[in-house]
Structure 1
Amino acid sequence: MTSEVLVEKKKLENPPLEIRVLGDRALRQPAKRIAKVDSEIRDLVREMLQTMYSADGIGLAAPQVAVQKQLIVVDCEPDNPANQPLVLINPTIKALTRDLCVAQEGCLSIPKVYLDVKRPEAIEVAYKDEYGRPRTLKATGLLSRAIQHEMDHLNGVLFVDRVENSLALTQELNKYGFSTQAVKPVG
């Protein structure tokens, strides 16, 4: 079955949704589980994908567009038309490796800021797809990192909350006009 939510991987001049930025309260509210996967949810998925591609992103969580639902979209190959984006509804991490790796992350809600974040190398995630079917996925590398990053958004956590180098964090945020007061360290 092909996805009903397929969208062209292209930039739109006027994407359908507005991405909220660091400091916006919508980014700090925990998302609610989705009880029913229906055409309304698929429409939201379509709009989120269009918005993500328009912003040159590889992932977007519903809270980033001020929708408090447990829904994320991920596409680690936005330039590859053959690669299907992932739609994860009510995702939960079932397993993760003890192996941690550090890599640079950025976020559509914190434009231009890129900093190192330590995360588990591999995860196993359970979720529902855009038809409400239960799925499980084992992810490593960039896909694992992107899913963990987007899932953090569902709990009101931003990648800057996980940055351990506070000097680099302060410098980067100040450089692009973000307040360090908006960071809520986790851990």
Structure 2
Amino acid sequence: MSVLPLVFYPDARLSEVCAPVNDEDLRRLIADMFDTMYAAPGRGLAGPQVGVMKRLFVMDCTWKEGTRTPMAFLNPEIITQSETVESLEEGCLSIPNLMVPVIRPTGITVRWTDELGRAHERDFDSFEARCIQHEMDHLAGRVTLDHLSETARTEILQGYTSP
């Protein structure tokens, strides 16, 4: 497997809506995305962050604590979300060294297909729910900065230099 080059803000691909994944075999790409995510080191990585404009992302929210729980999400969709929301600062591999406050629902139900074509539906909460919503933003052409007002975005980007 290999580590893929990351796409950094303000690359236009980070603002594009991704196309659905069809019947393609993406296992090699998914393995490379996991290698890239772990090397970065991150907990989630979406297709556009490595220049792949398809509706897929990988996530492993526990590996930094010592237990790997890798998951691949193809064509994910949030089917329900909690009314309870929370604002937390989020980092992004495509906007390194910049933390942005983002308000998100604390719980979601997600439907997706894995890399073997198996359908899933599951409830997620806490950090996993936040991570999924962050990665799904990438699939919709959104980054953390898009959650800010124009004034707040201008302020937070003062002096920021993309790699």
1:142 is the counterpart of 2:127: yes
Tell me which residue corresponds to 1:36.
Answer: 23
**Larger mean Cα displacement after TM superposition, 122-131 or 81-90:** 81-90
Q: Which residue, out of 75, 94, 107, partners 1:109?
A: 94
Q: 1:81: Cα distance to partner?
A: 4.8
Counterpart amino acid of residue 115 in structure 2: E
Q: Is this contact kept in 2: 1:37–1:130, CA < 8 A?
A: no
Q: SS at 1:144's partner residue?
A: helix
Counterpart amino acid of residue 22 in structure 1: Y
1:59 is the counterpart of 2:35: no
Q: How well do the aligned residues superpose, as a CA RMSD in angstroms?
A: 1.7
Q: 1:139: Cα distance to partner?
A: 0.6
Q: Which residue, out of 9, 12, 37, partners 1:25?
A: 12
| CA distance in structure 1 between the aligned counterparts of 2:31 and 2:102, rounded to whole angstroms | 29
| CA distance in structure 2 between the aligned counterparts of 1:71 and 1:81, rounded to whole angstroms | 25
Identity %: 36
| CA distance in structure 2 between the aligned counterparts of 1:131 and 1:98, rounded to whole angstroms | 33
Q: 1:174: Cα distance to partner?
A: 1.9
Matches within 5 A, 1:115-126: 115-126=100-111
Give a deviation string over 1:43-69, Cα, whole Å, max 9, x none.
010010111111111110001111011
Q: Which residue, out of 27, 38, 60, partners 1:75?
A: 60
Q: SS at 1:106's partner residue?
A: strand
Give the TM-score taking structure 1 as reference length.
Answer: 0.81
Q: Is this contact kept in 1: 2:107–2:129, CA < 8 A?
A: yes
| CA distance in structure 2 between the aligned counterparts of 1:164 and 1:77, rounded to whole angstroms | 32
Give a deviation string over 1:120-156, Cα, whole Å, max 9, x none.
1100000001101000121111100000000010010
Report which of the two has the higher share of strand: 2
Q: 1:175: Cα distance to partner?
A: 3.0
| CA distance in structure 2 between the aligned counterparts of 1:93 and 1:150, rounded to whole angstroms | 12
| CA distance in structure 1 between the aligned counterparts of 2:138 and 2:55, rounded to whole angstroms | 9
Tell me which residue corresponds to 2:159.
Answer: 175
Q: Is this contact kept in 2: 1:62–1:68, CA < 8 A?
A: yes
1:99 is the counterpart of 2:104: no
| CA distance in structure 1 between the aligned counterparts of 2:3 and 2:86, rounded to whole angstroms | 35
User: Number of matched residues?
Assistant: 162
Give the TM-score taking structure 2 as reference length.
Answer: 0.92
Q: 1:104: Cα distance to partner?
A: 0.8
Q: 1:83: Cα distance to partner?
A: 2.6
Q: SS at 2:63's partner residue?
A: coil
Q: Which residue, out of 43, 48, 52, partners 2:33?
A: 48
